[in-house]
Each structure stands twice: as C-alpha cells, then as structure tokens.
Amino acid sequence: MKSFLIANPKGGSGKSTLATNLAGYFARCGHRVMLGDTDRQQSARAWLNIRPDSLPAIRTWAVEKDLPARPPKDTSHVVLDSAAGLHGKALERMLKQVNRVIVPVQPSLFDILATRHFLETLLEEKVVRKERAFVAVVGMRVDARTRAAGELERFLAAYDLPVLAYLRDTQLYVQLVANGMTVFDLSAARAEKDRAQWQPIIDWVDG
C-alpha cells in the first residue's frame, strides 16, 4: 500500500485541493484509493459527499483528529489530508504511517513564514532523516508573472527538497471542488494545461 500525507500547519495552504486531486488521479488509474481527512473542517470528506457516483470511486474510512486508523486491507493507495497546526507528537505519529509527504505552499509572506518553520521541523523528524518518509513541495495558486512567485521560488531554493510543481492560480480548481471533481475527471482537452503541470507530481508519486 502506498500512502501520502499532505501537510502544512497553515490553514488555506491548498492541502485539500492537492489531496483531492491526487486521490482523483489514483482513482482514474483504477487503484483502490482512500482519502482520509484529519482536518477539523473535514473539507475532503465534504467533497467526497458531493462526488458523483459516475466518477471513479474514492472512499474514506473512520479517521480521528491527528490519529488516523489504518484503512481497509484491500486499499492500494491512501491520501491523508492533514489538519492545520499539525506538529509535535501528532506529526510524528502521522509520519510513521506514510511513505511520502507533500507540502503545499502559496506565494504569500504569511505562507512562506509558516512553511519555513514547518519544513525545518519536518526535516528534523527521525523518520524523515532516516529517509523512511520522503518530502517534496508543491507551489499552489502561483501566477508566474508576479513578484510573489519569484519570492516563493527563492524561498524554496534554500531547501534540499524537490519542488515538484507550481500549480497555476485558476478558478478551475474552485469549480471542480464545487462539483466533487478533479482535473483528472475532465476531458484531456479541457484540462490539458493543468494536467501538464501535474505531470511531475505524478512522476514522483508513481516513482
């Protein structure tokens, strides 16, 4: 079973957008995927409730705050959407349950400051230092033409971590969330630009 933790202690960093679309990719590939939600707001679970039955199935299971139970044995892929403020023992427990960690970050000063502390904490965790959990970063809602995008790139360049992608700032993701969908549920023509941005993420999670 492959398991992925989507984590950033700052609320509004794009965790649920990243988690739901990653789960959507695995489902589109025919995997038995579970989407776990430890966030108090339960955004991912609410999204699952409106996902059309006609789309590839994504399921969930009983998950307590910061302490997810193990998913059913026939699950092939797990995506965990973590709570804001994840730290300390809760972070340590979750890292022991996953194969890889993806940290979403938006190009704003507040997001960068919060993520800097989290990355430094994450890289000090024993399970990460021993390379049992691999960490990568994804820029969220990035407009490459802005100064903020450049600041985000310079910030991430200071860390010896793979920056998988910079996902564009588009209302498409908002529209998809409202309909329980992902970019992988759209036609190739309609989602061509966004799927191209997702390709390095896909290569990393499938590697």
* 17-29: pLDDT as tens digits: 999 999 999 999 9
Give mean pLDDT, residues 173-200.
Answer: 95
Domain ranges of the chain: 2-206
Rounded to two decimals, the pTM is 0.92
In which band, very low, low, confident or very high, does the pLDDT at 36 lie, cut at 50, 70 and 90? Answer: confident
Listed residue (70, 17, 71, 72) closest to 39, CA to CA:
17
Number of H helices, E strands in the chain: 8, 8
Q: Provide the token pair at 113.
A: 């400051």
- Is-contact 105 111, C-beta < 8 A? yes
Q: Percent of the chain having pLDDT more than 70?
A: 94
Distance CA 173, CA 141 (A): 10
Give mean pLDDT, residues 84-97.
Answer: 83
Distance CA 24, CA 183 (A): 8
* 46-71: pLDDT as tens digits: 899 999 999 999 998 765 555 555 67
DSSP letters spanning 118-183? HHHHHHHSHHHHTTSSEEEEEEEEE-TTSHHHHHHHHHHTTSSS-EEEEEE--THHHHHHHTT--G
Say yes or no to pLDDT of 3 above 80: yes
Say yes or no to pLDDT of 38 above 80: no
Distance CA 180, CA 37 (A): 15
Give the right CATH number for 2-206 from 3.40.190.10, 3.10.130.10, 3.40.50.300, 2.60.40.10.
3.40.50.300
In which band, very low, low, confident or very high, does the pLDDT at 89 lie, cut at 50, 70 and 90? Answer: confident
Say yes or no to pLDDT of 201 above 90: yes
Within a 10 A sphere around the Cβ of 75, how many other Cβ atoms?
17
Provide the pLDDT for residue 41: 65
Q: Provide the token pair at 80.
A: 């965990």
Say yes or no to pLDDT of 80 above 80: yes
Distance CA 109, CA 71 (A): 37
Provide the pLDDT for residue 58: 95
Q: Percent of the chain having pLDDT more than 90?
A: 66
Give mean pLDDT, residues 120-130.
Answer: 89
